Amino acid sequence: MSIDVMELDQERVQAFQGLAVAEAAVAQSAACCYLGDVLGLYAAMSGAGPMTPAELAERTRTRERYVREWLANQAAGGYVVYHPETGTFELPDEHAAVLADPDSPAFVGGIYPVMSAVWASVDVVAEAFRSGDGVGWHEHDPRLFGGIERLFGPLYRHQLVQDWIPALDGVAERLTAGGRVADIGCGHGVSTIVLAQAYPASRFTGYDLHAASMEAARRAAAEAGVEDRVSFEVAAADDHDGRDHDLVCFFDCLHDMGDPVGAATHARASLAEDGALLVVEPAAGDDLADNLNPISRLFYSGSVFLCTPNSLAQSGGLGLGAQAGEARLRQVLTDAGFGRVRVAARTPFNLVIEARP
């Protein structure tokens, strides 16, 4: 099909062309953000006030000419402030909280290694589009695994114990007294370790199919001093041998599974009497029209490259997707045999669902 551009609405063509170019600038600049993170440029600027390119290069042991060009990109995007009268650049504290402080609840630095891994897998995913095959989690660039840990870690550290567990009926009291918890699809174990630190009388087991992530989780538990009450096992969501759990958790992973109904069914069978299932999923409306916004756009892109291919690579291959929505998630849990399902909490990014047999 050949389009005669001159017959089109020129204002609309130019407006959309400007949008496409602007978004390409954002996408390419994200690679500069990755450099700012991995080279410690943001960290060096945090709290340092105005700096020259030479000062930043010296502090980070990088080359001034590269740093000067990087700072120009960051200033053009509004990530740093340029002071033309002194030729210096400054990272405002508000921006540093987002880019430079991994302990900040606003930190998003983990998204940049995730994006790097996505770009590294783009040709593999393109072939999956043609073949219909899945792409397993283990097939992605290794930057993905640590990036996911850094991306979700602040969320778990600042909301899991403070907001989500208290929103579940009686669960905080059971864990305080001493209970058993299974964390399914736990990755590097951030959520498992956060829970273990908060509830020392309880015992926790993290399960994940990715062996390298389980090794990283064991190291992290030892570093956190909770290895006496935490263990990690390589196992599928529908094949672990845990029993009598007071709480079973799926943090941002149920939609990644080939058979989420089977995984939830197995979780229900592993619960103790009056045990609870906690499912945290990306926030989404039930219809596509409800999700035409920047947050859902980010989740959909992650689903294209990571979540849906991972599900299609597994037995069942449902391909639920990262924007399934509350109604679809309720149906999954109901089909798994849960009689009571409710949204216990909401955030701009998450649905927090409690389910009981």
Please list, in sequence order, all residues whose beta carbon lies within 8 angstroms of the beta carbon of residue 97, skipping any fewer than 6 positions away. Answer: 104, 106, 107
Does residue 94 sit in the same domain as residue 134? Answer: no
pLDDT for the residue 72: 98
End-to-end CA distance of the chain: 56
Does residue 305 sit in the same domain as residue 259? Answer: yes
Q: Kindly report each contact of residues 163-170 with a partner whose C-beta sits within 8 Å and lies 24 or more positions away, as own/partner.
A: 163/345, 164/278, 164/280, 164/344, 164/345, 164/352, 165/195, 165/198, 165/278, 167/344, 167/345, 167/352, 167/354, 168/247, 168/276, 168/278, 168/344, 168/354, 169/276, 169/354, 170/274
Q: Is the torsion defined by CA of 216, 113, 209, 229 positive or negative?
A: positive
Does residue 95 sit in the same domain as residue 117? Answer: no
Q: Is the torsion defined by CA of 105, 107, 108, 112 positive or negative?
A: negative
Average pLDDT over residues 59-86: 98
The residues pairing with 249 across neighbouring beta strands, listed in sequence order, are 183, 278
Q: Dmax over Cα atoms in the chain, in whole Å?
A: 73
CA–CA distance, 346 with 334 (Å, rounded to integer): 20
Over pLDDT 90: what percentage of the chain? Answer: 97
DSSP notation for 298-357? HHHHHIIIIIHHHHHTSSS-----TT--HHHHHHHHHHTT-SEEEEEEE-SSEEEEEEE-
Answer yes or no: is 105 within a domain.
Answer: no
| pLDDT at 41 exceeding the cut of 90 | yes
Does residue 93 sit in the same domain as residue 171? Answer: no
Q: Which CATH number is 21's domain given?
A: 1.10.10.10
Answer yes or no: is 106 within a domain.
Answer: no
Does residue 9 sit in the same domain as residue 137? Answer: no
The residues pairing with 83 across neighbouring beta strands, listed in sequence order, are 88
Please list, in sequence order, all residues whose beta carbon lies within 8 angstroms of the beta carbon of residue 120, skipping any fewer than 6 positions away. Answer: 140, 141, 143
| pLDDT at 10 exceeding the cut of 80 | yes
Over the stretch 276-316, which tens digit does the pLDDT of each residue have? 999 999 999 999 999 999 999 999 999 999 999 999 999 99
Answer yes or no: is 285 within a domain.
Answer: yes
Residue owning tokens 């599900």: 311
Cα atoms found within 13 Å of the Cα of residue 172, Cβ hemisphere only: 11
pLDDT for the residue 7: 86
The residue range of the domain holding 70 is 5-99
| pLDDT at 1 exceeding the cut of 80 | no
Does residue 28 sit in the same domain as residue 153? Answer: no
| pLDDT at 271 exceeding the cut of 90 | yes
Does residue 214 sit in the same domain as residue 249? Answer: yes
Return the closest-CA partner of residue 172 out of 206, 207, 202.
202
Does residue 213 sit in the same domain as residue 242? Answer: yes
Q: Are strands 271-282 and 350-356 parallel, antiparallel or unpaired?
A: antiparallel
Over the stretch 326-342, which tens digit does the pLDDT of each residue have? 999 999 999 999 999 99
C-alpha pair distances (Å), 270 with each of 121, 158, 160, 171: 36, 28, 22, 16
Does residue 339 sit in the same domain as residue 265? Answer: yes
Q: Tell me the pLDDT of the chain averaged across its residues.
A: 97
The residues pairing with 234 across neighbouring beta strands, listed in sequence order, are 208
| pLDDT at 43 exceeding the cut of 90 | yes
Domain C-terminal end among 75, 99, 123: 99
Amino acid at 201: A
pLDDT for the residue 241: 87
- Strands (E) across 56-95 are located at 81-83, 88-90
Average pLDDT over residues 230-259: 95
Answer yes or no: is 268 within a domain.
Answer: yes
The residues pairing with 250 across neighbouring beta strands, listed in sequence order, are 184, 279
Q: Which CATH number is 160's domain given?
A: 3.40.50.150
Overall domain count for the chain: 2
Does residue 300 sit in the same domain as residue 324? Answer: yes
Domain C-terminal end among 71, 99, 127: 99
Average pLDDT over residues 31-35: 98
Does residue 139 sit in the same domain as residue 220? Answer: yes
pLDDT for the residue 3: 86
CA–CA distance, 331 with 2 (Å, rounded to integer): 45
pLDDT for the residue 6: 85
**Of 3-17, 47-61, 124-138, 199-213, which gets the smallest average pLDDT?**
3-17
CA–CA distance, 37 with 229 (Å, rounded to integer): 33
Answer yes or no: is 107 within a domain.
Answer: no
Domain C-terminal end among 41, 73, 99: 99
Answer yes or no: is 104 within a domain.
Answer: no
Over the stretch 149-167, which tens digit does the pLDDT of each residue have? 999 999 999 999 999 999 9
Does residue 83 sit in the same domain as residue 126? Answer: no
Average pLDDT over residues 186-190: 98
This prediction's pTM: 0.94
Answer yes or no: is 315 within a domain.
Answer: yes
| pLDDT at 64 exceeding the cut of 80 | yes
Q: Are strands 180-184 and 203-208 parallel, antiparallel or unpaired?
A: parallel
Please list, in sequence order, all residues whose beta carbon lies within 8 angstroms of the beta carbon of residue 90, skipping any fewer than 6 positions away. Answer: 45, 49, 50, 51, 80, 81, 83
Answer yes or no: is 153 within a domain.
Answer: yes
Amino acid at 303: S
| pLDDT at 185 exceeding the cut of 90 | yes
DSSP notation for 137-157? GGGS-THHHHHHHHHHHHHII
